[in-house]
Structure 1
C-alpha cells in the first residue's frame, strides 16, 4: 500500500496586495488623473500581480511576463472579452474580428488569415511605397518653404490610404477628414466613459451623446459606400474585402451579410491605420530627440538603398530600421492596455485570481520593468539584437499581444512601418517645433499630444 501522506501539497495561492482606493469607486479617481503613471506605480509597489477595486468590481493588474503569458496563451479561454470595455467598442465596430469571440471569431479569423500571408503582404509593398513617395514630395515642399507639418496627421492620412488600397481595394483619401474627426470623438469619449464608469449607451438627447452617435453614423456611411461600390463590381481582387464578400458559410452556403461586412471593414479601417500611424509619429519624435540613433539609421538606409525607394526584398537588410520601430513600440505601444473578464478562479504567478473579476494588462508598464529593460526610459534600438531578444521572456514585449488572439495584422503593420520609415528618412529629418515636447495621450491608443508639429529639414 502506497503512503500518500507525505505527498507535497500545492502551495497555497497568495492574496495580492494593491492600492486601497476610495469607497464605492475604488481607484477610479487616481487612474483618471494619470493612468500610465498609475500602472507604473502599482507594479513597482505591489509586484507581479496587484489587486484593487475599480468601481464596485474587483480587478487585478498583471505585470510579469509569466502572468501575461498565462492570460494570453496558456489559459486563454478563462480570460474573455466579455468585459465592459469591449462592450463600448462594440457600439462602434459591432461584432468584427476585434470584438467577436468563440466560434464566430474562429470563423472570421479563418476567412481573414489568407489576406495576411507573408507573400500576399509583400505584394502590397509597392502600393505602400508609392503612397509614401507622394507624401515625401509634400514634405519636400514644406522643407523648401519652412512651413511646419502636423506629423501625426500626415501619418494618419498615409496609413488610412494604405489600408484602404491594400486591404479594402478602395481609395478612401476623400474620407480622411471625416474618418479622423469621427475616430477622435469616439476614442476620447470611449475612454472618458470607461474611466467615469458611465456604461449606459449614448442615447440621451445631450450634445455629448449626440456627438458620439453622429461620429459612429459618419463612419458607417463611409463603410456602407465602400461596400456598395464593391458589390457593384464583385470580382476577386485578392484583398481582404474580396475574401469576406466572396466567402460562403461551410454549413449553410450563405454569404456574409452587409451588416457583418460593415463590422469587419470598420474594424480593419480603424484598427489597421490608427495603431501604425501612432507608432510612426512616436518614431519621428524619438529620432529627433536621439541624433546618434538617427545617424545610425541614416547610415543603414544609405548603404542598403543608396537613395532609391525601398522594396519588399530590401526588408531583411533593413535590420536597424526594424529595431528602431521595435524600440518605439516598446516605449509607446499603441495598444498600451487591455482588460479581460475572468471566468473561473485561477492562480497567476502564485497569486489567487477570483472568477467574475477583471484582469488588466499594460504593455506600456511591462515594457518598462527594469529587470527586463535596464534604463527603461532610454531609447535604444540595440535592445532588439537577436541575442538580447532570446535572453528575455517572450511576453516581456507584446505590442501585438500574443497567443491565439495575437493581432492578425502584425506583419502587415511591421512591413508598412519599415517601408514608410525607410522611404521618408532617406530624404527628410522632421524636427519638433520649438517649445513642443510630445506627451503620451492614452485614449484607446497611445497618441502623441498636439498632433506632433514638426519642421521638415534635409538630410
Structure 2
C-alpha cells in the first residue's frame, strides 16, 4: 500500500476551529476523536492541533513505513517527548540518534531471554506475596484497588529484577508522584501549555514537587549502589560500570538516574495497566475466564508457575494479548516528520507532526472482525497468520520496539497464573470501568474489586 504514486493524495480530516484546530474535540473525547478520524477519513488523515498540522496513520502498511522502513524520517522532536523529558531526562525512551543507539546496545544484554527467564522466580515470589494479601482481603471482604495492587507489584519486580533494589518502601511516593505527572503531562499537551512548570501556581508547584520526589528516590538508589559498586548482572550494574570505548569514561550519576527513572516508570506502569484491564475483561467474559482457569489447573495443578511453564500457558498469553489489543497501555505515540513523504499514497509534509495509535489500529474491522468483542483465540497461530505485522503493535515495532517486551510478557503471564489460580477479583457493585487516556490507558477509579475465591 506504500507503492510510489505520481500524484499523492492530500489527507482529509476533521476541520476543527480557527487557531485551535481540533483541540476541543481532543479534550472532550480523545479516544473517540481518534476512532472517528480513522474511520471517516481513511488510512492517513490530516488535521490541525492548534497552529500545527498533524496526521494520523492507522493502516498497518503505513505503520510499517513510519516505524520501520523510513524510521529516520520520523523523530521524537515532538512536544509530547519534550514534556516527558522534563521527568525522565534523556533516558532510553526519549533519547535519539547515536545517544539512543549507545544506550540500547548497553541495555540489551539485560533483556536476553536467558537472563529474563532467570528473573521468573522473583516475579512469582512477589506475586505470591500479593496473593496472601488478597486472601486476607477475601476473608475480611475489604475491597482492593486492582490498579494500585498491580502497580505496586510490577514496581517491586522492576526494582528487584532489573535494578537489584528493593523499592517497596518507595512505592507510595513513586505512584503518587507519577499520577500527578501523568495527568499534568496529558493536560499540558492538550492545552498546548508547552512552557516549563516554573510559575508559582499550585498547578506548576505540584508538578515540580512530584518530579523532585521521583528524582530523590532515584538519586538515593544510585548513591547507595555507587557506594558498593559491583557487577550484580542487573541493568543498573550495566549502566554504572559501562565505559565509553574511546575515552574510558563512565556514565555520570545524572545520566544513570535518567536511565533508572525511565526503567522504573516505563517498566512498571505499562505492565500494571495491562494486568488491571485483564482482571476486568475476564470478569466480563465468563467463557474466557473458565478457559483461563482450566488451563491453569491443567498446566500447574495447584503449584506456583516457573519460567518453564510460560510457553505452556498458551491461553493465558492469548488473554494478555487480547487485553492489550483492546486496551493497549501505550495507546498513542507521536513523531515529527522531517521531510515530505508519501504514506499509503497520501502526502505528509515535512515539519508537521504525526500520530500512530495502537488503540485505533487494534479496532479496525478489516483486520479484527467484531473488534469490540473480547476473544483471546484471535491470537491462535492460524488467525494471527492472516493479519499484517503492524495490525497489532502494543510494543511498537522496528528499531524502536520496546526493549522490555519479552520481560513484560513473561511477567504478565506469571502474575496472571499465580494470582488466577486462587482468586477471582470482582468489580464492586455499580462500577463500570472506563478508559482514562493519560500517559497510559488506565481504567477509571483504579478498578475497585472484591476478592473472591475460585
| TM-score normalised according to structure 2 size | 0.99
TM-aligned CA deviation for residue 271 of structure 1: 0.3
Whole-angstrom CA distance in 1 between matches of 2:222 and 2:192:
35
Secondary structure at the aligned position of 1:175 is classed as helix
2:40 is the counterpart of 1:45? yes
2:251 is the counterpart of 1:256? yes
2:30 is the counterpart of 1:35? yes
2:448 is the counterpart of 1:449? no
- RMSD across aligned positions (CA): 0.9
Deviations 1:128-150 (A, max 9, x none): 00000000001011111111111
2:235 alignment counterpart: 240
1:132 alignment counterpart: 127
2:174 is the counterpart of 1:174? no
1:385 alignment counterpart: 380
TM-aligned CA deviation for residue 11 of structure 1: 2.6
Task: Say how many residue pairs are matched.
Answer: 452
Which of 431, 438, 442 does residue 433 from structure 2 map onto?
A: 438
2:287 is the counterpart of 1:292? yes
Deviations 1:404-425 (A, max 9, x none): 0000000000000000000000
Deviations 1:326-356 (A, max 9, x none): 0000000000001000000000000001000
TM-aligned CA deviation for residue 233 of structure 1: 1.1
2:181 alignment counterpart: 186
Residue pairs, 1:322-341, within 5 angstroms: 322-341=317-336
1:310 alignment counterpart: 305
Deviations 1:222-258 (A, max 9, x none): 0000001101111111100000011000111000000
Whole-angstrom CA distance in 2 between matches of 1:438 and 1:232:
46
TM-aligned CA deviation for residue 10 of structure 1: 4.3
2:433 is the counterpart of 1:458? no
2:144 alignment counterpart: 149
CA change 1:250–1:303 in 2 (3 A) is same
TM-aligned CA deviation for residue 15 of structure 1: 0.6
1:93 alignment counterpart: 88
Deviations 1:181-212 (A, max 9, x none): 00000010000000001100000011100000
Residue pairs, 1:340-355, within 5 angstroms: 340-355=335-350
1:6 alignment counterpart: none
Answer whether contact 2:45 2:56 (CA < 8 A) is retained: yes
Whole-angstrom CA distance in 1 between matches of 2:432 and 2:151:
19
CA change 1:330–1:10 in 2 (3 A) is closer
Whole-angstrom CA distance in 1 between matches of 2:306 and 2:144:
26
TM-aligned CA deviation for residue 368 of structure 1: 0.1
Whole-angstrom CA distance in 2 between matches of 1:353 and 1:449:
36
Q: Which runs of 5+ in 1 are unaligned?
A: 1-8
Whole-angstrom CA distance in 1 between matches of 2:139 and 2:181:
37
Whole-angstrom CA distance in 2 between matches of 1:423 and 1:10:
53
2:53 alignment counterpart: 58
Q: Which runs of 5+ in 2 are unaligned?
A: none
Deviations 1:113-162 (A, max 9, x none): 00000000000000000000000001011111111111110000000000
Secondary structure at the aligned position of 1:391 is classed as coil
TM-aligned CA deviation for residue 317 of structure 1: 0.5
Whole-angstrom CA distance in 2 between matches of 1:244 and 1:365:
36
Whole-angstrom CA distance in 2 between matches of 1:128 and 1:378:
30
Answer whether contact 2:5 2:345 (CA < 8 A) is retained: no
Which of 364, 383, 388 does residue 369 from structure 1 map onto?
A: 364
Secondary structure at the aligned position of 1:58 is classed as strand
Whole-angstrom CA distance in 2 between matches of 1:438 and 1:49:
31
2:17 is the counterpart of 1:22? yes
Whole-angstrom CA distance in 2 between matches of 1:290 and 1:391:
25
1:5 alignment counterpart: none
TM-aligned CA deviation for residue 441 of structure 1: 0.2
TM-aligned CA deviation for residue 169 of structure 1: 0.3
Which of 410, 413, 436 does residue 408 from structure 2 map onto?
A: 413
Whole-angstrom CA distance in 1 between matches of 2:102 and 2:35:
37
| TM-score normalised according to structure 1 size | 0.98
2:246 is the counterpart of 1:267? no
